[in-house]
Amino acid sequence: MSPLPAPGGPSLPAPRADLAMREGYHSAQVGAEVRLNTNESPYPPPPEWQAELLAEMAGIAWNRYPERAARALREAIADLHGVRPGQVFAANGSNEVLQALCLAYGGPGRRALTFEPTYALHAHIAHLTGTAVVQAERAGDFRLDPAAAAAAVSGVRPAVTFLCSPNNPTGLVEDPETVEAVLRAGPGILVVDEAYGQFAATSALGLVGDATPLVVCRTFSKTWSLAALRLGYAVAPGEVVGMLERVALPYHLDAVKQAAGRLALRHRQAMEQRVAGLVAERERLVAAMAALPVRVWPSQANFVLFRPEGRAGLDVWKALVERSVLVRDTSSWPGLDGCLRVTVGTPAEDDRFLAALAEVLT
């Protein structure tokens, strides 16, 4: 038997060549009193939900694997949206849904199309699954014209096209005409990421059907105040759901998560009240920012993109961190020169942010 490699012996094997040049996901997790950088809800879920979950956990058969198809959870999600459970795929955060989509419909020799600037993980996850990524650009105002979107799809012929509505980090919603134009242009699957869907007035959910190559992704991380839970889902044609199940690891949804998600859906009204409160607070925040030397983009999400005038984005970000206010530095992202993104927090948090920003900029 040959000896194990000794210290100083041959180095570790090289990873996949196409990963060597890629950085992992990066979002600064620096300590700050006011954290407005990751678009979480500033409010916890209802205490009744927590009590119900604790009671339910007493009945879990811990020595057994969880129910593999997550049937009850998918039924509850299907009820929420008026679709069949067979049109719902649930996973560990909507990021895992996106990964499953790329595994099933992307992969070597296939292309994914994004419209930048948008959620960076669309391109990142596609790359990780060996899918080639074509990054088309939005217009200067970050809008995506239906004809331009359709032309990109016809030219690139992607296996997967990503839209994000409201779009992270710009906050803009996609016009329904754009969604329909992409669907008509085909080929491939259109993924509309609606992680912030309930903050906006429009949704692509109504277009989902078994004969339409459309997948809408949602998450419990934002509007449901459950970022710690890591639960997201897709509403999709039944055939697509079958493919996503095929690429998901067996028992990927643990028993606690299944119960927690199902019980959360009983508190829909509380969720809608939190969302309405955050939308009103967003409007207050945007109105207050109008008095400062920043450009602000209109948002239909729980965050606001802004560009300080005459100041480098990174300098402003650092000055805010010095005042214990953490926002997202998007200033080095393609197409977002000088921009920062702030999550809508509680009124007290937003006041801290506004005061710090005013101090830094004036």
Please name every residue paired with 114 in a beta bridge, in sequence order, or none if there are none.
135
**d(C-alpha 49, C-alpha 358), whole Å:** 39
Residue 333 contacts by C-beta under 8 Å, 6 or more apart in sequence?
Answer: 117, 120, 169, 339
Task: Provide the sign of the torsion angle of the four alpha carbons 228, 230, 234, 238, taken in this order.
Answer: negative
Nearer to ligand PMP, 198 or 221 (CB): 221
Position among 45, 46, 66, 93 found at the interface with ligand PMP (CB under 6 A): 93
Position among 173, 195, 226, 244 found at the interface with ligand PMP (CB under 6 A): 195
**d(C-alpha 35, C-alpha 136), whole Å:** 32
Position among 37, 41, 95, 223 found at the interface with ligand PMP (CB under 6 A): 95
Is residue 343 near ligand PMP by the rule CB under 6 A?
Answer: no
Count of C-beta atoms within a 10 Å radius of residue 189: 25
Nearer to ligand PMP, 275 or 354 (CB): 275
Is residue 174 near ligand PMP by the rule CB under 6 A?
Answer: no
Nearer to ligand PMP, 115 or 360 (CB): 115
Is residue 39 near ligand PMP by the rule CB under 6 A?
Answer: yes
CB of 39 to ligand PMP, least distance (A): 6
**d(C-alpha 284, C-alpha 187), whole Å:** 42
CB of 327 to ligand PMP, least distance (A): 14
Is residue 94 near ligand PMP by the rule CB under 6 A?
Answer: yes
Is residue 232 near ligand PMP by the rule CB under 6 A?
Answer: yes
Is residue 198 near ligand PMP by the rule CB under 6 A?
Answer: no
Is residue 101 near ligand PMP by the rule CB under 6 A?
Answer: no
Is residue 40 within 8 Å of residue 222, measured between CB atoms? yes
Is residue 285 within 8 Å of residue 350, measured between CB atoms? yes
**d(C-alpha 282, C-alpha 301), whole Å:** 8
Q: Which two tokens stand for residue 107?
A: 């992969």
**d(C-alpha 7, C-alpha 115), whole Å:** 47
Position among 76, 164, 214, 356 found at the interface with ligand PMP (CB under 6 A): 164
Q: Binding segment for ligand PMP among 56-64, 90-98, 105-113, 345-353 (CB under 6 A)?
A: 90-98
Q: Binding segment for ligand PMP among 78-86, 88-96, 101-109, 174-182 (CB under 6 A)?
A: 88-96
Is residue 168 near ligand PMP by the rule CB under 6 A?
Answer: yes
**d(C-alpha 114, C-alpha 144), whole Å:** 11
Q: Binding segment for ligand PMP among 14-22, 91-99, 138-146, 248-256 (CB under 6 A)?
A: 91-99
Please name every residue paired with 137 in a beta bridge, in sequence order, or none if there are none.
116
Nearer to ligand PMP, 52 or 193 (CB): 193
Is residue 49 near ligand PMP by the rule CB under 6 A?
Answer: no
Residues in contact with ligand PMP, counted by CB under 6 A, come to a total of 12
Is residue 119 near ligand PMP by the rule CB under 6 A?
Answer: yes
**238-247 helix and 93-105 helix, angle to the nearest 10 degrees:** 100
Residue 56 contacts by C-beta under 8 Å, 6 or more apart in sequence?
Answer: 259, 263
Element spanning 233, H or E:
strand 232-235
Q: Which of residues 319-338 bind ligand PMP (CB under 6 A)?
A: none
**d(C-alpha 224, C-alpha 232), whole Å:** 11
Is residue 197 near ligand PMP by the rule CB under 6 A?
Answer: no
Is residue 219 near ligand PMP by the rule CB under 6 A?
Answer: yes
The answer for 73, left when phi > 0, alpha when psi is -120 to 50, beta otherwise, is: alpha
Nearer to ligand PMP, 73 or 195 (CB): 195
Please name every residue paired with 218 in a beta bridge, in sequence order, or none if there are none.
233
Give the binding site for ligand PMP (CB under 6 A): 39, 93-95, 119, 164, 168, 193, 195, 219, 221, 232
